[in-house]
Chains A and B, each alone.
Chain A
Protein backbone atom coordinates (compact mmCIF):
# COMPACT_ATOMS: atom_id res chain seq x y z
CA UNK A 1 0.00 0.00 0.00
CA UNK A 2 1.88 3.03 -1.27
CA UNK A 3 1.42 6.57 0.02
CA UNK A 4 1.10 8.73 -3.09
CA UNK A 5 3.38 11.57 -4.17
CA UNK A 6 2.95 14.76 -2.14
CA UNK A 7 0.40 13.33 0.30
CA UNK A 8 2.62 13.60 3.39
CA UNK A 9 3.48 17.04 4.80
CA UNK A 10 7.05 18.18 4.13
CA UNK A 11 8.36 17.52 7.68
CA UNK A 12 6.95 13.99 7.72
CA UNK A 13 8.34 13.20 4.27
CA UNK A 14 11.82 14.32 5.37
CA UNK A 15 11.52 12.55 8.74
CA UNK A 16 10.58 9.18 7.23
CA UNK A 17 13.37 9.50 4.67
CA UNK A 18 15.88 10.08 7.48
CA UNK A 19 14.42 7.08 9.34
CA UNK A 20 14.72 4.79 6.30
CA UNK A 21 18.27 5.77 5.25
CA UNK A 22 20.17 3.87 8.02
CA UNK A 23 18.37 0.62 7.13
CA UNK A 24 19.15 0.98 3.42
CA UNK A 25 22.78 1.92 4.20
CA UNK A 26 23.08 -0.99 6.68
CA UNK A 27 21.63 -3.34 4.07
CA UNK A 28 24.12 -2.12 1.45
CA UNK A 29 27.03 -2.69 3.86
CA UNK A 30 25.77 -6.20 4.65
CA UNK A 31 25.40 -6.95 0.92
CA UNK A 32 28.93 -5.64 0.25
CA UNK A 33 30.30 -8.01 2.89
CA UNK A 34 28.29 -10.87 1.46
CA UNK A 35 29.58 -10.15 -2.06
CA UNK A 36 33.19 -10.05 -0.77
CA UNK A 37 32.72 -13.58 0.62
CA UNK A 38 30.65 -14.89 -2.30
CA UNK A 39 31.21 -12.82 -5.49
CA UNK A 40 28.63 -14.91 -7.35
CA UNK A 41 25.91 -13.23 -5.23
CA UNK A 42 26.57 -9.86 -6.90
CA UNK A 43 24.07 -10.52 -9.67
CA UNK A 44 21.55 -12.20 -7.38
CA UNK A 45 20.27 -9.05 -5.69
CA UNK A 46 19.58 -7.14 -8.90
CA UNK A 47 17.76 -10.15 -10.32
CA UNK A 48 15.90 -10.51 -7.01
CA UNK A 49 14.78 -6.87 -7.21
CA UNK A 50 13.42 -7.46 -10.74
CA UNK A 51 11.64 -10.58 -9.47
CA UNK A 52 10.05 -8.59 -6.61
CA UNK A 53 8.99 -5.87 -9.06
CA UNK A 54 7.24 -8.22 -11.49
CA UNK A 55 5.73 -10.22 -8.61
CA UNK A 56 4.08 -7.06 -7.33
CA UNK A 57 2.45 -6.59 -10.74
CA UNK A 58 0.72 -10.00 -10.66
CA UNK A 59 -3.03 -10.00 -10.05
CA UNK A 60 -3.84 -11.98 -6.92
CA UNK A 61 -7.36 -13.43 -6.46
CA UNK A 62 -8.56 -12.10 -3.12
CA UNK A 63 -10.82 -13.96 -0.66
CA UNK A 64 -13.51 -11.28 -1.13
CA UNK A 65 -13.72 -12.15 -4.83
CA UNK A 66 -11.87 -9.06 -6.00
CA UNK A 67 -8.27 -8.86 -7.25
CA UNK A 68 -5.24 -7.21 -5.75
CA UNK A 69 -1.44 -7.25 -6.01
CA UNK A 70 0.94 -9.17 -3.71
CA UNK A 71 3.63 -7.16 -1.90
CA UNK A 72 6.20 -9.99 -1.85
CA UNK A 73 7.56 -8.61 1.43
CA UNK A 74 7.31 -11.90 3.33
CA UNK A 75 8.58 -14.03 0.46
CA UNK A 76 11.56 -11.72 -0.13
CA UNK A 77 12.46 -11.57 3.57
CA UNK A 78 12.44 -15.39 3.85
CA UNK A 79 14.46 -15.88 0.64
CA UNK A 80 17.04 -13.09 0.89
CA UNK A 81 16.92 -12.02 4.56
CA UNK A 82 15.38 -8.86 6.08
CA UNK A 83 18.65 -6.85 6.02
CA UNK A 84 19.12 -7.29 2.25
CA UNK A 85 15.45 -6.51 1.66
CA UNK A 86 15.89 -2.83 2.66
CA UNK A 87 18.02 -1.85 -0.40
CA UNK A 88 16.17 -4.32 -2.66
CA UNK A 89 12.84 -2.91 -1.48
CA UNK A 90 14.12 0.65 -1.89
CA UNK A 91 14.98 -0.06 -5.54
CA UNK A 92 11.64 -1.80 -6.16
CA UNK A 93 9.71 1.10 -4.61
CA UNK A 94 11.74 3.65 -6.57
CA UNK A 95 11.02 1.72 -9.78
CA UNK A 96 7.33 1.51 -8.92
CA UNK A 97 7.30 5.30 -8.54
CA UNK A 98 9.28 5.90 -11.74
CA UNK A 99 7.77 3.22 -13.99
CA UNK A 100 4.21 2.91 -12.66
CA UNK A 101 3.60 6.19 -10.76
CA UNK A 102 2.73 4.10 -7.68
CA UNK A 103 4.03 5.86 -4.58
CA UNK A 104 6.31 8.83 -5.10
CA UNK A 105 9.68 10.46 -4.59
CA UNK A 106 8.78 12.60 -1.56
CA UNK A 107 6.99 9.64 0.06
CA UNK A 108 9.71 7.12 -0.86
CA UNK A 109 11.21 7.19 2.66
CA UNK A 110 7.84 6.48 4.32
CA UNK A 111 7.06 3.70 1.84
CA UNK A 112 10.54 2.15 2.27
CA UNK A 113 10.08 2.22 6.05
CA UNK A 114 6.74 0.40 5.96
CA UNK A 115 7.32 -2.02 3.09
CA UNK A 116 11.09 -2.63 2.98
CA UNK A 117 11.94 -2.33 6.69
CA UNK A 118 8.96 -3.15 8.95
CA UNK A 119 7.43 -5.84 6.67
CA UNK A 120 10.60 -7.91 6.07
CA UNK A 121 11.76 -7.72 9.71
CA UNK A 122 8.26 -8.71 10.87
CA UNK A 123 8.24 -11.65 8.42
CA UNK A 124 11.67 -12.92 9.50
CA UNK A 125 10.83 -12.52 13.20
CA UNK A 126 7.43 -14.23 12.93
CA UNK A 127 8.91 -17.10 10.89
CA UNK A 128 11.63 -17.71 13.50
CA UNK A 129 9.16 -17.46 16.37
CA UNK A 130 6.71 -19.85 14.72
CA UNK A 131 9.48 -22.37 13.95
CA UNK A 132 10.80 -22.14 17.53
CA UNK A 133 7.24 -22.84 18.76
CA UNK A 134 7.31 -26.03 16.64
CA UNK A 135 4.73 -24.77 14.11
CA UNK A 136 4.86 -26.64 10.81
CA UNK A 137 6.84 -25.15 7.92
CA UNK A 138 3.66 -24.28 5.99
CA UNK A 139 1.98 -22.61 8.99
CA UNK A 140 5.18 -20.64 9.74
CA UNK A 141 5.40 -19.40 6.13
CA UNK A 142 1.68 -18.48 6.09
CA UNK A 143 1.94 -16.53 9.35
CA UNK A 144 5.16 -14.79 8.26
CA UNK A 145 3.79 -13.71 4.86
CA UNK A 146 0.32 -12.64 5.96
CA UNK A 147 1.38 -10.89 9.18
CA UNK A 148 4.23 -9.12 7.32
CA UNK A 149 1.63 -7.85 4.89
CA UNK A 150 -0.59 -6.70 7.75
CA UNK A 151 2.33 -5.04 9.52
CA UNK A 152 3.10 -2.91 6.46
CA UNK A 153 -0.54 -1.83 6.27
CA UNK A 154 -0.66 -1.01 10.00
CA UNK A 155 2.59 0.98 9.65
CA UNK A 156 1.19 2.96 6.70
CA UNK A 157 -1.98 3.69 8.69
CA UNK A 158 0.19 4.85 11.63
CA UNK A 159 2.21 7.10 9.30
CA UNK A 160 -0.96 8.66 7.90
CA UNK A 161 -2.57 9.03 11.34
CA UNK A 162 0.57 10.73 12.68
CA UNK A 163 0.61 13.13 9.74
CA UNK A 164 -3.13 13.85 9.87
CA UNK A 165 -4.49 13.50 13.44
CA UNK A 166 -8.27 13.71 13.69
CA UNK A 167 -9.39 17.26 14.71
CA UNK A 168 -11.71 15.88 17.41
CA UNK A 169 -10.35 12.42 18.36
CA UNK A 170 -6.64 12.94 17.70
CA UNK A 171 -4.11 10.31 16.65
CA UNK A 172 -6.06 7.21 17.82
CA UNK A 173 -9.28 8.14 16.00
CA UNK A 174 -7.33 9.01 12.88
CA UNK A 175 -5.51 5.66 13.02
CA UNK A 176 -8.86 3.82 13.41
CA UNK A 177 -10.20 5.77 10.41
CA UNK A 178 -7.28 5.01 8.07
CA UNK A 179 -6.89 1.41 9.27
CA UNK A 180 -10.65 0.86 8.88
CA UNK A 181 -10.71 2.14 5.30
CA UNK A 182 -7.66 0.20 4.16
CA UNK A 183 -8.68 -2.98 6.06
CA UNK A 184 -11.36 -3.63 3.40
CA UNK A 185 -8.65 -4.44 0.86
CA UNK A 186 -5.64 -5.25 3.01
CA UNK A 187 -6.94 -8.02 5.30
CA UNK A 188 -8.21 -10.21 2.42
CA UNK A 189 -4.99 -9.43 0.54
CA UNK A 190 -2.85 -10.50 3.52
CA UNK A 191 -4.70 -13.84 3.75
CA UNK A 192 -4.41 -14.41 -0.02
CA UNK A 193 -0.71 -13.52 0.03
CA UNK A 194 -0.16 -15.93 2.94
CA UNK A 195 -1.74 -18.77 0.94
CA UNK A 196 0.20 -17.83 -2.19
CA UNK A 197 3.52 -17.80 -0.33
CA UNK A 198 2.79 -21.27 1.12
CA UNK A 199 2.02 -22.56 -2.39
CA UNK A 200 5.31 -21.07 -3.66
CA UNK A 201 7.33 -22.72 -0.88
CA UNK A 202 5.46 -26.02 -1.36
CA UNK A 203 6.37 -26.00 -5.05
CA UNK A 204 9.98 -25.10 -4.21
CA UNK A 205 10.22 -27.82 -1.54
CA UNK A 206 8.75 -30.37 -3.94
CA UNK A 207 10.77 -29.67 -7.05
CA UNK A 208 13.90 -27.82 -5.87
CA UNK A 209 14.49 -28.51 -2.18
CA UNK A 210 18.23 -27.84 -2.37
CA UNK A 211 17.63 -24.07 -2.78
CA UNK A 212 15.59 -23.99 0.42
CA UNK A 213 18.24 -26.05 2.25
CA UNK A 214 20.96 -23.64 1.10
CA UNK A 215 18.86 -20.76 2.47
CA UNK A 216 18.57 -22.73 5.77
CA UNK A 217 14.78 -22.52 5.57
CA UNK A 218 14.16 -26.24 5.19
CA UNK A 219 15.96 -29.00 7.10
CA UNK A 220 17.68 -31.63 4.93
CA UNK A 221 15.29 -34.43 6.01
CA UNK A 222 12.24 -32.50 4.74
CA UNK A 223 13.33 -32.71 1.08
CA UNK A 224 10.75 -34.72 -0.81
CA UNK A 225 12.02 -34.71 -4.40
Chain B
Protein backbone atom coordinates (compact mmCIF):
# COMPACT_ATOMS: atom_id res chain seq x y z
CA UNK B 1 0.00 0.00 0.00
CA UNK B 2 1.61 3.16 -1.29
CA UNK B 3 -0.08 5.48 1.24
CA UNK B 4 0.93 3.40 4.25
CA UNK B 5 4.54 3.19 3.01
CA UNK B 6 4.70 6.97 2.61
CA UNK B 7 3.03 7.51 6.00
CA UNK B 8 5.79 5.52 7.75
CA UNK B 9 8.72 6.83 5.70
CA UNK B 10 8.01 10.57 5.45
CA UNK B 11 9.98 13.37 7.15
CA UNK B 12 7.09 14.34 9.45
CA UNK B 13 6.49 10.88 10.92
CA UNK B 14 7.71 12.08 14.39
CA UNK B 15 5.28 15.03 14.36
CA UNK B 16 2.25 14.56 16.63
CA UNK B 17 -0.79 13.06 14.78
CA UNK B 18 -2.99 15.55 16.67
CA UNK B 19 -1.08 18.42 15.04
CA UNK B 20 -1.33 16.89 11.57
CA UNK B 21 -5.04 16.19 12.13
CA UNK B 22 -5.60 19.77 13.28
CA UNK B 23 -3.83 21.17 10.22
CA UNK B 24 -5.77 18.85 7.85
CA UNK B 25 -9.09 19.87 9.50
CA UNK B 26 -8.21 23.55 9.06
CA UNK B 27 -7.20 22.88 5.45
CA UNK B 28 -10.58 21.20 4.79
CA UNK B 29 -12.37 24.23 6.27
CA UNK B 30 -10.24 26.51 4.08
CA UNK B 31 -11.10 24.49 0.93
CA UNK B 32 -14.82 24.82 1.70
CA UNK B 33 -14.56 28.47 2.79
CA UNK B 34 -12.65 29.59 -0.34
CA UNK B 35 -14.71 32.35 -1.97
CA UNK B 36 -13.53 31.76 -5.54
CA UNK B 37 -12.33 28.70 -7.51
CA UNK B 38 -8.90 30.27 -7.95
CA UNK B 39 -8.55 30.65 -4.17
CA UNK B 40 -9.46 26.98 -3.65
CA UNK B 41 -6.93 26.04 -6.36
CA UNK B 42 -4.23 28.09 -4.57
CA UNK B 43 -5.03 26.29 -1.31
CA UNK B 44 -4.75 22.92 -3.11
CA UNK B 45 -1.38 23.98 -4.54
CA UNK B 46 -0.12 25.15 -1.13
CA UNK B 47 -1.17 21.84 0.49
CA UNK B 48 0.44 19.80 -2.28
CA UNK B 49 3.68 21.78 -1.93
CA UNK B 50 3.65 21.32 1.85
CA UNK B 51 3.12 17.55 1.45
CA UNK B 52 5.72 17.05 -1.28
CA UNK B 53 8.43 19.50 -0.20
CA UNK B 54 7.74 19.66 3.55
CA UNK B 55 7.01 16.02 4.35
CA UNK B 56 9.22 14.70 1.54
CA UNK B 57 6.60 12.61 -0.28
CA UNK B 58 7.76 11.65 -3.80
CA UNK B 59 5.79 13.56 -6.44
CA UNK B 60 5.20 10.37 -8.47
CA UNK B 61 3.71 8.60 -5.42
CA UNK B 62 1.53 11.64 -4.76
CA UNK B 63 0.19 11.63 -8.32
CA UNK B 64 -0.36 7.84 -8.32
CA UNK B 65 -2.35 8.02 -5.09
CA UNK B 66 -4.50 10.88 -6.31
CA UNK B 67 -5.18 9.42 -9.80
CA UNK B 68 -8.41 7.42 -9.01
CA UNK B 69 -9.95 10.39 -7.19
CA UNK B 70 -9.01 12.71 -10.07
CA UNK B 71 -10.70 10.33 -12.52
CA UNK B 72 -13.93 10.51 -10.48
CA UNK B 73 -13.55 14.29 -10.34
CA UNK B 74 -13.14 14.54 -14.13
CA UNK B 75 -16.26 12.41 -14.72
CA UNK B 76 -18.28 14.27 -12.10
CA UNK B 77 -17.23 17.71 -13.35
CA UNK B 78 -17.98 16.82 -16.97
CA UNK B 79 -21.50 15.82 -16.00
CA UNK B 80 -21.88 19.18 -14.19
CA UNK B 81 -20.70 21.14 -17.24
CA UNK B 82 -23.28 19.64 -19.59
CA UNK B 83 -27.04 19.63 -19.47
CA UNK B 84 -29.68 17.51 -21.23
CA UNK B 85 -32.33 19.51 -23.09
CA UNK B 86 -35.51 17.48 -23.62
CA UNK B 87 -37.58 20.38 -24.95
CA UNK B 88 -37.07 20.13 -28.74
CA UNK B 89 -38.07 16.62 -29.78
CA UNK B 90 -35.34 14.31 -28.52
CA UNK B 91 -32.87 14.74 -25.67
CA UNK B 92 -29.92 16.96 -26.70
CA UNK B 93 -26.66 17.29 -24.79
CA UNK B 94 -25.62 20.93 -24.46
CA UNK B 95 -23.33 23.10 -22.37
CA UNK B 96 -25.19 24.11 -19.20
CA UNK B 97 -25.77 27.87 -18.75
CA UNK B 98 -23.67 27.94 -15.58
CA UNK B 99 -21.67 24.85 -16.56
CA UNK B 100 -18.11 26.16 -16.59
CA UNK B 101 -18.60 28.20 -13.44
CA UNK B 102 -20.02 25.17 -11.56
CA UNK B 103 -17.24 22.96 -12.93
CA UNK B 104 -14.56 25.38 -11.72
CA UNK B 105 -16.21 25.83 -8.31
CA UNK B 106 -16.73 22.11 -7.54
CA UNK B 107 -13.47 21.04 -9.18
CA UNK B 108 -11.31 23.52 -7.27
CA UNK B 109 -13.06 22.81 -3.94
CA UNK B 110 -12.64 19.04 -4.43
CA UNK B 111 -8.97 19.50 -5.32
CA UNK B 112 -8.42 21.53 -2.14
CA UNK B 113 -10.23 18.99 0.04
CA UNK B 114 -8.43 16.08 -1.64
CA UNK B 115 -5.07 17.78 -1.03
CA UNK B 116 -6.01 18.16 2.67
CA UNK B 117 -6.91 14.47 2.90
CA UNK B 118 -3.72 13.43 1.10
CA UNK B 119 -1.64 15.59 3.45
CA UNK B 120 -3.11 13.73 6.45
CA UNK B 121 -2.93 10.18 5.12
CA UNK B 122 0.48 10.46 3.45
CA UNK B 123 2.12 11.81 6.61
CA UNK B 124 0.32 9.83 9.35
CA UNK B 125 0.15 6.02 9.68
CA UNK B 126 -3.36 4.66 10.21
CA UNK B 127 -2.50 3.22 13.61
CA UNK B 128 -1.61 6.76 14.81
CA UNK B 129 -4.93 8.04 13.46
CA UNK B 130 -6.77 5.29 15.37
CA UNK B 131 -4.93 6.35 18.54
CA UNK B 132 -6.00 9.94 17.81
CA UNK B 133 -9.63 8.81 17.38
CA UNK B 134 -9.36 7.06 20.78
CA UNK B 135 -8.32 10.37 22.37
CA UNK B 136 -11.28 12.05 20.63
CA UNK B 137 -13.61 9.61 22.50
CA UNK B 138 -14.72 7.50 19.52
CA UNK B 139 -16.88 4.54 20.75
CA UNK B 140 -14.66 1.74 22.04
CA UNK B 141 -16.41 -0.94 19.98
CA UNK B 142 -15.84 0.96 16.73
CA UNK B 143 -12.15 1.39 17.65
CA UNK B 144 -11.90 -2.32 18.38
CA UNK B 145 -13.30 -3.15 14.92
CA UNK B 146 -10.77 -0.70 13.43
CA UNK B 147 -7.77 -2.15 15.29
CA UNK B 148 -8.70 -5.73 14.37
CA UNK B 149 -9.48 -4.73 10.79
CA UNK B 150 -6.14 -2.96 10.41
CA UNK B 151 -4.17 -5.92 11.74
CA UNK B 152 -6.11 -8.57 9.83
CA UNK B 153 -6.18 -6.86 6.46
CA UNK B 154 -2.45 -7.51 5.99
CA UNK B 155 -2.99 -11.17 6.92
CA UNK B 156 -5.79 -11.43 4.35
CA UNK B 157 -3.74 -9.55 1.75
CA UNK B 158 -0.98 -12.15 2.05
CA UNK B 159 -3.56 -14.96 1.85
CA UNK B 160 -5.03 -13.42 -1.31
CA UNK B 161 -1.62 -12.92 -2.93
CA UNK B 162 -0.59 -16.51 -2.26
CA UNK B 163 -3.91 -17.94 -3.47
CA UNK B 164 -3.82 -15.79 -6.62
CA UNK B 165 -0.28 -16.98 -7.37
CA UNK B 166 -1.26 -20.63 -6.88
CA UNK B 167 -4.40 -20.26 -9.00
CA UNK B 168 -2.58 -18.35 -11.77
CA UNK B 169 0.14 -21.03 -11.87
CA UNK B 170 -2.65 -23.55 -12.61
CA UNK B 171 -4.13 -21.32 -15.40
CA UNK B 172 -7.00 -20.30 -13.11
CA UNK B 173 -7.24 -16.90 -14.78
CA UNK B 174 -6.68 -17.99 -18.40
CA UNK B 175 -10.18 -16.94 -19.52
CA UNK B 176 -12.91 -14.67 -18.04
CA UNK B 177 -15.04 -17.73 -17.22
CA UNK B 178 -12.16 -19.46 -15.39
CA UNK B 179 -11.26 -16.17 -13.70
CA UNK B 180 -14.75 -15.80 -12.30
CA UNK B 181 -14.74 -19.39 -11.03
CA UNK B 182 -11.27 -19.02 -9.45
CA UNK B 183 -12.27 -15.73 -7.86
CA UNK B 184 -15.41 -17.34 -6.41
CA UNK B 185 -13.33 -20.16 -4.88
CA UNK B 186 -10.80 -17.66 -3.54
CA UNK B 187 -13.49 -15.52 -1.92
CA UNK B 188 -15.28 -18.60 -0.49
CA UNK B 189 -11.99 -19.78 1.01
CA UNK B 190 -11.41 -16.34 2.52
CA UNK B 191 -14.98 -16.25 3.86
CA UNK B 192 -14.31 -19.43 5.83
CA UNK B 193 -11.08 -17.97 7.15
CA UNK B 194 -13.13 -15.12 8.69
CA UNK B 195 -14.65 -17.55 11.23
CA UNK B 196 -11.49 -19.62 11.67
CA UNK B 197 -9.24 -16.61 12.28
CA UNK B 198 -11.82 -14.89 14.51
CA UNK B 199 -12.08 -18.06 16.61
CA UNK B 200 -8.27 -18.34 16.85
CA UNK B 201 -8.02 -14.68 17.93
CA UNK B 202 -10.75 -15.18 20.53
CA UNK B 203 -8.97 -18.21 22.00
CA UNK B 204 -5.66 -16.28 22.04
CA UNK B 205 -7.29 -13.30 23.78
CA UNK B 206 -8.99 -15.55 26.34
CA UNK B 207 -5.69 -17.30 27.04
CA UNK B 208 -4.23 -13.88 27.92
CA UNK B 209 -7.13 -13.01 30.28
CA UNK B 210 -8.47 -10.38 27.90
CA UNK B 211 -11.63 -8.95 29.43
CA UNK B 212 -12.58 -6.13 27.09
CA UNK B 213 -10.86 -3.47 25.00
CA UNK B 214 -7.75 -4.31 23.00
CA UNK B 215 -5.04 -1.88 24.05
CA UNK B 216 -1.64 -1.30 22.50
CA UNK B 217 1.33 0.80 23.53
CA UNK B 218 0.99 4.09 21.71
CA UNK B 219 4.05 6.00 20.48
CA UNK B 220 4.96 9.10 22.48
CA UNK B 221 5.35 12.45 20.73
CA UNK B 222 7.49 14.61 23.01
CA UNK B 223 6.84 17.87 21.13
CA UNK B 224 3.08 17.43 20.74
CA UNK B 225 2.18 20.78 22.30
CA UNK B 226 4.67 22.71 20.14
CA UNK B 227 3.52 20.79 17.02
CA UNK B 228 -0.13 21.59 17.75
CA UNK B 229 0.65 25.31 18.17
CA UNK B 230 2.46 25.40 14.82
CA UNK B 231 -0.36 23.44 13.14
CA UNK B 232 -3.02 25.77 14.57
CA UNK B 233 -1.08 28.80 13.34
CA UNK B 234 -0.50 27.34 9.86
CA UNK B 235 -4.10 26.10 9.64
CA UNK B 236 -5.61 29.44 10.63
CA UNK B 237 -3.34 31.17 8.09
CA UNK B 238 -4.81 28.91 5.40
CA UNK B 239 -8.36 29.79 6.49
CA UNK B 240 -7.44 33.48 6.50
CA UNK B 241 -5.97 33.10 3.00
CA UNK B 242 -9.23 31.47 1.85
CA UNK B 243 -11.31 34.31 3.26
CA UNK B 244 -9.09 37.20 2.21
CA UNK B 245 -8.22 36.24 -1.41
CA UNK B 246 -10.93 37.19 -3.90
- Name A residues whose Cβ lies closer than 8 Å to a Cβ of B: 2-7, 10, 24, 28, 31-32, 35, 39-51, 53-55, 57-58, 60-61, 65, 75, 79, 87-88, 90-92, 94-95, 97-102, 104-106, 160, 164, 166-169, 173, 176-178, 181, 192, 195-196, 198-204, 207-208, 211
Check B150–A42 contact: CB distance below 8 A. Answer: no
**27 contacting pairs across A/B (C-beta < 8 A):** A4-B73, A5-B110, A6-B109, A6-B112, A7-B72, A42-B144, A43-B198, A45-B148, A46-B144, A47-B149, A47-B152, A47-B201, A48-B198, A50-B148, A50-B156, A51-B156, A61-B176, A79-B194, A91-B146, A92-B149, A97-B117, A168-B96, A173-B84, A195-B184, A196-B184, A201-B188, A204-B192
A200:B106 contact, CB within 8 angstroms: no
Q: Is B185 an interface residue (CB 8 A)?
A: yes
Given A49-B148, A79-B191, A104-B117; A58-B76 close (CB under 8 Å):
no
A interface footprint on B174-185 (CB within 8 Å = 1, 0 otherwise): 001001110111
Complex Cα spacing A41 to B4, Å? 29
Contacts of B142 in A (CB 8 A): 24, 28, 87, 90-91
Question: Is there contact, CB below 8 Å, between A47 and B198?
Answer: yes
- Which one of B73, B117, B190 lies within 8 Å of A105 (CB-CB)? B117
Closest residue of chain A to B179, judged by CB? A61
Pick the most buried of A4, A195, A204: most chain B CB atoms within 10 A of its CB: A4
| Interface presence of B69 (CB below 8 A) | yes
- B197 nearest CB across to chain A (Å): 5
Known contacts A91-B142, A99-B3, A177 near B79 by CB under 8 Å: yes
B160 contacts which chain A residues (CB < 8 A)? 54, 58
Inter-chain contacts of B102 with A (CB < 8 A):
164
Q: Is the CB of A4 within 8 A of B72?
A: yes
Cβ of B129 < 8 Å from any Cβ of A?
yes
How many Å lie between the Cα of A201 and that of B188 in the bound state?
7
User: Which 5 pairs across A and B sit closest by C-beta, in order of nearness?
Assistant: A46-B148, A6-B113, A199-B184, A203-B188, A50-B152
A5:B117 contact, CB within 8 angstroms: yes
- B residues 63-94 near A (Cβ < 8 Å) are 65-66, 68-69, 72-73, 75-76, 79-80, 82-86
- Are the C-beta atoms of B194 and A51 separated by less than 8 Å? yes
CB distance from A71 to the nearest CB of B (A): 13
Chain B: number of interface residues, binned into ranges: 35 or more
| Nearest chain A CB to B83 CB, angstrom units | 5
Which residues of chain A are within 8 angstroms of B114 by Cβ–Cβ distance? Answer: 4-6, 101, 104
CB <8 Å contact, A169 and B83: yes
Interface residues of B in 107-138 (CB under 8 A from A): 109-114, 116-118, 120-121, 126, 129
A residues less than 8 Å from B147 (CB atoms): 46
**Most chain A beta-carbon contacts within 10 A, residue among B79, B102, B157, B193:** B79
Alpha-carbon distance A1/B3, docked complex (angstroms)? 20
Closest-by-CB residue of B relative to A192 is B180
A214→B176 CA distance, assembly (Å): 33
Q: Which of B65, B106, B191 contacts A7 (CB 8 A)?
A: B106
Report B119 CB to chain A, min CB distance, Å: 11
Query: Does B126 lie within 8 Å of A168, measured CB to CB?
Result: no
Quick one: which of A87, A173, A207 contacts B145, CB cutoff 8 A? Answer: A87
- Known A6-B112, A91-B142, A100-B3; further 9 A-B contacts with Cβ < 8 A: A5-B113, A31-B141, A46-B146, A98-B120, A178-B79, A196-B184, A199-B185, A200-B188, A207-B192
Docked Cα-Cα span, A164 to B96, in Å, equals 12
The docked-state distance in angstroms from the alpha carbon of A141 to that of B215 is: 39
**Is the beta-carbon distance between A32 and B84 smaller than 8 angstroms?**
no
Q: Judging by beta carbons under 8 Å apart, are A101 and B181 in contact?
A: no
A10 touches B69 (CB 8 A): no
- Which of A47, A166, A168 gathers the greatest number of chain B CB atoms within 10 Å? A47
Which residues of chain B are within 8 angstroms of A164 by Cβ–Cβ distance? Answer: 80, 102, 106
Q: Are A48 and B194 in contact (CB under 8 A)?
A: yes
Chain A residues with Cβ below 8 Å from B151 are 50
Q: Counting CB contacts under 8 A, is B199 at the interface?
A: yes
**Smallest CB gap from A47: residue in B:** B198
Residues of chain B lying within 8 A (CB to CB) of residue A167: 83, 96-99
Residues of B within 8 A of A39 (CB): 202
Q: Are A99's CB and B4's CB within 8 A?
A: yes
Query: What residues of chain B lie closer than 8 Å to A196, measured between beta carbons?
Result: 180, 183-184, 187
